[in-house]
Amino acid sequence: MNILTRIVKDKRKEVELRSRLIPINQLEQSILFNRSTFSLVQNLSQSATGIIAEHKRRSPSKAVINHNLNVQDVAIGYEKAGVCGMSVLTDSKYFGGSLDDLLLARASCELPLLRKEFIISEYQIIESKAFGADAILLIAAILKKDEIKRFSELAKSLHLEIILEVHNTTELTNSLMPSLQMIGVNNRNLKTFEVDIAHSKKLSKAIPSEFVSISESGISSIEAIKELKPFGFKGFLVGENFMKTDNPGQSASNFIKNLIV
């Protein structure tokens, strides 16, 4: 069983348990459920840098990245740095995150927040809105086309923006639909966790212009971003490069300053 299959198997059990503990009608009563959302699409479209900075404590591929930082400081630092949005890992077992991280980030900044999660249920989408997310990630590798349609239409009705994450041309062409706004090309093979930004270059020509294109994983240098920009990418998800430092906000600030020189 590869890591992605194992994560999804565990996630189904986790969501089933949470949905019994906190029913949907209770989520819909959250003080954040009816808030106006911030647009990641708009920020990326208007930005010269396109940086989406991530909060991630650990991962299956890198084990511990940073357990010494609190999410409030990271969120404030990222906002001061001028990033376009913040990605918050909420998976606990494999990435050390939680929904509390999303809640604390929401209370600490006015950045568009992407809930980075393995979404396999409508429940998680409603949950995302209730905990302050502005955007969600849908991973084509773990979803059927009808699920992508159903989930993205529900998210759109809640004023949540959607990044569809793809790894190859088949996933991309089979999953494009009007309810999506952003296409994220993951340069990491989720089965082996190897990274190659050539994936983004390869898939760039197949992404229709009406979608905002984002390159994910392996974006650790200014050179990588400059290399990918001519291929039409507007967004760049940067995680470990900032989080492995003692001050992710300052690292993001320095990175952005050097990027726009």
Do the Cβ atoms of 127 and 154 come closer than 8 Å? no
pLDDT level of residue 194 (50, 70, 90 thresholds):
confident
What is the average per-residue pLDDT within 108-114?
98
**Average pLDDT of the chain?**
94
Average pLDDT over residues 106-112: 98
Instruction: Indicate if the pLDDT at residue 1 is higher than 70.
Output: no
Residue 154 is predicted with a pLDDT of 98
**How many helices, marked H, and strands, marked E, lie in the chain?**
12, 10
Which residues are part of the catalytic machinery?
54, 56, 116, 165, 186, 216-217
Residue range 187-200: average pLDDT? 82
DSSP 36: P
The one-letter amino acid at 84: C
**Spatial CB neighbours of 193, under 8 Å, sequence gap ≥ 6:** 3, 60, 61
Please provide the size of the chain in residues. 261
Q: Do 132 and 159 meet the contact criterion of CB atoms below 8 Å apart?
A: no
Compute φ and ψ for 218, nearest 5 degrees: 75, 10
Give the span between the Cα atoms of 247 and 254, in whole angstroms.
11
Domain that holds residue 65: 3-259
Measure the CA–CA gap between 145 and 193, rounded to whole angstroms. 24
Spatial distance between the Cα atoms of 44 and 52, rounded to a whole number of angstroms: 9
Note the pLDDT of residue 50: 97
Q: List, for residues 124-178, the tens digit of each pLDDT value.
A: 999 999 999 999 999 999 999 999 999 999 999 999 999 999 999 999 999 999 9
Bridge partners for 188 per DSSP: 195
CA distance 22 to 126: 11
- Please give the pLDDT value at position 189: 74
For 43-88, the pLDDT digits (tens) are 999 999 999 999 998 887 767 676 778 999 999 999 999 999 999 9
Q: How far apart are CA 161 and CA 112, in angstroms?
A: 10
Per-residue pLDDT band for 190 (boundaries 50, 70, 90) equals: low
Q: DSSP labels for 110-129?
A: -S-EEEE----SHHHHHHHH
The pTM score is 0.95
How many structural domains does the chain have?
1
Q: By three-state DSSP, how is residue 13 classified? A: helix
pLDDT digits (tens, 9 = 90+) for 198-239: 999 999 999 999 999 999 988 989 999 999 999 999 999 998
pLDDT at 83 (0 to 100): 98
Say which CATH number the domain at 40 has.
Answer: 3.20.20.70
Q: What is the distance between the alpha carbons of residues 92 and 116, in angstroms, rounded to a whole number?
A: 11
